[in-house]
A = this chain, B = another copy of it.
Amino acid sequence: MAIEIERKFLVVGEGWRQPDAMHLSQGYLNRDPARTVRVRIAGEEAFLTIKGRSEGLSRAEFEYPLPLADAQALLALCDGPLVEKHRHRVMVDGLLWEVDEFHGANAGLVVAELELQSEDQPFTRPAWLGEEVSDDARYFNSQLASRPFNTWP
């Protein structure tokens, strides 16, 4: 088990774009925020990830590699449509930002995530960083499967 400490932001402009972005396809065997169970295919790799309920910016996380064929079969068992996105990895002053550009029913949404060692860890704000949405449950990927961005009022 690990504790994931994460901040999440909207972005402005296009300065986060990387030519080698990786395609991610993911679905949920449970979308309950108290026990999220995610199946993800990232390029040729696949993972099963279980997360507990968020407490502040922190959340218990358990991640295990999956055989690719299992992951493909498990995605077919998932609840609701898959979340499809490209992940752009951007280093800024020694910290890695993961900028997710969503597709399908979430097209138009781009979210930047930063994993930290502690909740009060300082970090450089890149020019393309927008509003923080760490506490906004609508932006949980597990919720974007059931209530995609394009359906928001």
Contacts and interface: CB of A to CB of B under 8 A. Distances in A.
A74 B62 contact: yes
B34 A77 contact: yes
B73 A62 contact: yes
Contacts of A48: 48, 64
Contacts of A135: none
A62 B52 contact: no
Given A64-B64, A77-B52, A1 B70 contact: yes
Contacts of A64: 48, 64, 66
Nearest to A66: B64
Contact of A78 (B35, B66, B69, B74): B35
A35 B1 contact: no
A60 interface: yes
A7 to B, nearest CB: 23
Interface in A33-58: 34-35, 37, 48, 50, 52
Given A60-B73, A62-B70, A62-B74, 15 more contacts: A1-B69, A1-B70, A29-B29, A29-B30, A29-B37, A30-B32, A30-B35, A32-B79, A35-B78, A48-B64, A50-B74, A50-B77, A60-B77, A62-B73, A64-B64
21 contacts: A1-B69, A29-B29, A29-B35, A29-B37, A29-B50, A30-B32, A34-B77, A34-B79, A35-B77, A35-B78, A35-B79, A37-B37, A50-B74, A50-B77, A52-B77, A60-B73, A60-B77, A62-B70, A62-B73, A62-B74, A64-B66
